[in-house]
Amino acid sequence: MAELPIEEPKAERPQSGLSRFWASDFAWKFRRSPVAVTSFAVVLLLVLSAVFAPLISPYDPFNPASLNLMNGFTPPMEPNAFTGDEFWLGTDDQGRDVFSTILYGMRISLFVGFAAVLFAMVLGVSLGLIAGYVGGWTETIIMRVADVQLTFPAILVAMLIFGIAKGFTPIEYRDQMAIWVLIIAIGLSDWVQFARVVRGATLVEKNKEYVQAARLIGRSGPAIMMRHILPNVLSPVLVIATISLALAIIAEATLSFLGVGAPPTQPSLGTLIRIGQGFLFSGEWWILFFPAVTLLALALSVNLLGDWLRDALNPRLK
Amino acid sequence: MLGFILRRVLQSILVLLVVGLVAFSMFRFVGDPIDNMLGQERTQADIERLRTQLGLDQPFPVQYWRFLEGAVQGNFGVSYRQGRPVAEIIAERAPATLELAAVSGLFAILGGIALGVFTAIRRDGIASNVIMTVSLIGVSLPTFLIGILLIYIFSVELDMLPSFGRGETVDLGWWTTGFLTESGLRALILPAITLGLYQMTLIMRLVRAEMLEVLRQDYIRFARARGLKERAVNFRHALKNTLVPVITVTGLQLGSIIAFAIITETVFQWPGVGLLFINAIQFVDIPVMAAYLMLISVMFVAINLIVDLLYFAIDPRLRDERAAAG
């Protein structure tokens, strides 16, 4: 039986969820694709190191007590001229360990990215479901708004929302609230994709027999939308969410780089690149280089994963 | 056909009215305009007087109408930060952005079409594969990193091109141009490439895909069979028939170029409207933000409208279908 795995019956005895997943088509396709495995590994590594940043990072970059200004501008892998301390990736102007700031910065970048996509997904999927299922005026209004928003690039919409929200926040809370404002701004700039796809899928699903059956036995509209239609339109949503995550991470980095995102007290990768750009001409390349490479690795691997997921789950979306 | 044009124009006006409402609400509700304009020492009488003077005691629709009247005449109020009329500041900055956008747009279109045709004709060549791979990486790179990379290579390492500003400009009275001086032209190169690169790869991939599609058609085989030269087949017969989608995408990308100019202008400290907008967001300078929003919306809506109408003019099949449909 071991020599002929093809003839093995697929589900003879009840299996645990994990092993069923391992035997599924999807997992098989995943194992066969080196790009998918590699990019997944990179994403996993980066996410884990961001989550466990306080345990991994050799220094706490935001604790003023552990900082020594004498350590400023230490090149990577070289002992500092005054203190003799060594830093893997060097230090910035304030003597903060670049490796540690990257880990903490990635935390902010990933948190904003995931939260923004989650927000966009919930908003877009709900509006898409309602538009598709209810139809009529509701649909016209939702889809018109989507069309108008789609006319403008997402990053521009995010900037505007950020600016408006900043205007509403009292000055003393602006730095504290910046991260949340950022999440709302990026999330609001990104819901249209979800709404359009879900509406399209809902239009197809709502005329199928199982929905008619559910209607016949008297289930309410919201119940039909949530329990019956939603599970059947989720796979394209997953694909869009992954690609959106890459876009959201880049959008966050761009906004922070432009100085309209994460504040210097909570630097994300974009903020670190903004800081590092100032030292490009004076030769301290590492302050810019390592955050930039991390951002690239993160965005690229999430992107590749999203592309692969799209091909694997739904080739027609291509 | 007239009905179609009319409907599109009406839609565009509706979009602009909605955007105008957003811009106006920013003015009216983000912070108190009275607070922003009067200093610490003010009396209730001052407040009342300014309120009447600004028309803030009028009902909302009347205020909105007045705002629109002002906006149409290019009157967006006074910048909170610089204390000068917003229209004046924008007029001063616009040439820098428009020149940058024009040069990068040209770079994107010419480069994109040329590379697209090249990679389609030699689809299996080594050069084509290299170009396609590089373009994939180029699309994944965020704009600001491309800018920083170019600055690092050409300004820091090679010391060939300036990394910030517009260089020397010539003042033509109503327009300042960087096209007429050597330093102005040199300063344009890096920002223009940064801004146009993404659009170029997009146009290139589109042209390539369309060309590959068209080159399979019967009329191309027939043209070859007639003994026409390769050049004539590729450019006269094939390229011409790929242009409809290319024009649509290019048109829509023009808007993105203006929007993404914000990023490029910040990286290169280019004194344009985009940099103005970013500074306005940082300092919550509402009048400048609202004016920029209105301006860019007019531009986007106009571009969309023109592209739609062009589409119509270029492809006779569409014209007939729509005309037949009503």
Is A62 part of a structural domain of the chain?
no
Nearest to A258 among B163, B266, B284 (CB): B266
- Chain A residue numbers touching B143 (CB-CB < 8 A): 254
Q: Which residue's structure tokens are 């001409």?
A: A281
Taking residues B139-143, what's their average pLDDT?
80
Condensed to tens digits (0 to 9), the pLDDT of residues B20-43 reads 888 888 777 766 666 666 666 677
**A90, A286 in Cβ contact below 8 A?**
yes
Q: Which of A82-91, B16-25, B246-255 is most confident? A: B16-25
Q: Which of B144, B151, B152 sits opposite A254 (nearest CB)?
A: B144
Chain A residues touching residue B273 (CB < 8 angstroms)? none
Q: What is the pLDDT of residues B165-224, one digit of tens each?
A: 777 777 777 777 777 777 788 888 899 988 888 888 888 888 888 888 888 888 888 888
Measured CA to CA, the distance from residue A295 to residue A106 in angstroms comes to: 8
| pLDDT at A14 (0 to 100) | 57
* B297 part of contact set with chain A, CB < 8 Å: yes
Q: For residue A277, which residues of chain B lie inside 8 Å, CB to CB?
A: 148, 267
Q: How far is CA B134 from the centre of its chain?
A: 25
Is A190 a domain residue?
Answer: yes
* B10: DSSP letter: H
Q: Which residues span the domain enclosing A122?
A: 34-54+89-317
Is the Cα torsion angle A69, A74, A76, A79 positive or negative in sign?
negative
| ipTM for the assembly | 0.79
Question: In whole angstroms, what is the distance from residue A258 CA to residue A262 CA?
Answer: 10
- Which pTM value belongs to this model? 0.82
Question: Looking at chain A, which residue has its C-alpha nearest residue B303?
Answer: A151
Domain-embedded: residue A260: yes
Residue A275: Cβ within 10 Å count: 20
- Report yes or no on A18 lying in a domain: no
Contact B203, B253 (CB under 8 A): yes
Which DSSP helix (H) or strand (E) runs through B171?
A: strand B170-171
Residue A204 maps to a domain: yes
Q: Do A259 and B297 touch (CB under 8 A)?
A: no
pLDDT class for A318, splitting at 50, 70, 90? very low
**Highest mean pLDDT pick, A139-148, B130-139, B219-228, B317-326:** A139-148
- Judge whether A26 lies within some domain: no
pLDDT for B318 equals 61
What's the structural domain count of chain A? 1
Considering the domain boundaries, does residue A77 fall inside one? no
- Contact at CB, B31 and A300, closer than 8 angstroms: no
Integer Rg of chain A from CA: 24
Q: Please report whether residue A171 resides in a domain.
A: yes
Among A164, A188, A308, which would you mutate to test the B interface (most chain B Cβ atoms within 10 Å of its Cβ)? A164
Chain A contact present for B289, CB below 8 A: yes
Q: What is the CATH number of the domain that holds A112?
A: 1.10.3720.10
CA dist A268 and A108 (Å) reads 5
